[in-house]
Amino acid sequence: MEWDTVIIGAGAAGLMCATQTGGKTLVVDHAKKAGEKIRISGGGRCNFTNLYCDPINFLSDNRHFCKSALSRYTQWNFIDLMQQHGIAWHEKTLGQLFCDETAKDVVAMLLDEMSNAGAELRLGCSVASIDKTDSGFALALSDGDRVQTKNLVISTGGKSIPKMGASGFGYDVARQFDLPLTDTRPGLVPLSFTNGDFKDISGTALPARVQAQRGPSFVEALLFTHRGLSGPAILQASSYWREGEEITIHLLPEIDIFQTLRDKRQAAGKRNLTTILAEILPARLVEFLAKSIDLSGNFADQSDTRLREIADALTNWRVRPSGSEGYRTAEVTIGGVDTSALSSKTMEAKDVSGLYFIGEVVDVTGWLGGFNFQWAWASGWAAGQAIKSKLR
């Protein structure tokens, strides 16, 4: 069978690409259902984009690469698509947009758009081999079919959440055609501690500013777990963290802790320090911190110098994770197909005509909060538009 375009991977980027390519398009995926990561995302309501999407919200060895696609297919374009399909949505926090009802509405929307574009979807079907031909590519499929295509789009995602079928297939295709890869690692992932450092305060949560040594700081919720640290602030910082490095935690970043303690000393000097701290921090956390910070004595006896020391301990708390929870729970894969080998405008491999890479398989990774979906929509759209233009 001959096709104008074959897209491997029926995730966010692949489905979006299929709505744009024109011509005869086939989407192939080994999964039983399309868009499964869309379906489970955002607690089942899909954090489908972010109002404040900007290239600064993305990691890549080439931080400029994502600019072209993101500027041509913006968050507003996807919001318009949602509105055309009558899908209600709301902003949660920090510009994060979620479906009012269910993420399944987004999957259904993309499948409708794909069907309207004349694309065909083949699920439960994997790709056994890919060969380059004079006119394009020849694929052997697990259902026994051999297909020919002028254009081949790799939209297979990364290694994150392997229980859903994630694998390194896209990276294998890149290697087959001699495209370079950047190192990959889990991103947006909880951090672990081998000694069960925080098991006594598992379940405790509070706002915090968290920063890895080589990244920006993030002010969101911090959650202590029996395995280590999680919550949005940790997931964000994890994308910049490297094994062996520390992270810095600033508890209660919305207040001046020193001034707060100083003010409370005036009014409640006879009470003990741990009791006062438990008024601004979770009591279990104060008890835990007392093991490493001297919190003994009455509040009135604490000098300004001592209060500054305590405030510094709470705002500059350094911990060294032993690792992360890995691809099992990671929301994304950092790294992938090196952007130096791709056109930022079309997502086509510079040295392999007709071969495209889109979405998570590429070395472009967004922050938590809808940015990775926006990259999927934008990169899929860019490749689809390029193919459509080529077929005219």
Q: Within 13 Å, how many C-alpha atoms sit on residue 386's CB side?
A: 27
Please report whether residue 267 resides in a domain.
Answer: no
Tell me the per-residue pLDDT of 324-333, one tens digit each, with 9 for 90 and over: 999 999 999 9
Task: Tell which wins on pLDDT, 265 or 4.
Answer: 4
Give the model's pLDDT for residue 267. Answer: 77
Residue 196 lies in a domain: no
User: Does 269 score more than 70 pLDDT?
Assistant: no
Say if 221 falls within a structural domain.
no
DSSP secondary structure code for residue 337 in this structure:
B
Q: Cα 172–169–330 angle (5° rounding)?
A: 120
Residue 84 within a domain: yes
What is the predicted pLDDT for the residue at 296?
87
Higher pLDDT, 52 or 265: 52
Residue 369 within a domain: yes
Residue 213 CB contacts under 8 Å (≥ 6 apart), including other chains: 240, 241, 242, 245, 246, 247
Report pLDDT digits (tens) over 74-109: 999 999 999 999 999 999 999 999 999 999 999 999
Q: The pTM is what?
A: 0.95
The one-letter amino acid code at 258 reads F
Tell whether 383 is covered by a domain.
yes
234 domain-assigned: no
How many structural domains does the chain have? 1
What is the domain range of residue 55?
A: 2-186+333-391
279 in a structural domain: no
Residue 220: its H or E element:
strand 217-224
270 has a pLDDT exceeding 80: no
CATH of the domain at 145: 3.50.50.60
DSSP 136-199: SEEEEETTS-EEEEEEEEE----SS-GGGT--SHHHHHHHHTT--B---EEES--EE-TT-TTG
Rounded Cα gap, residues 130 and 141, in angstroms: 9
Confidence tier at 251 by pLDDT (50, 70, 90): very high
pLDDT for 389 beyond 90: yes
Asked whether the predicted pLDDT for residue 188 surpasses 70, the reply is yes
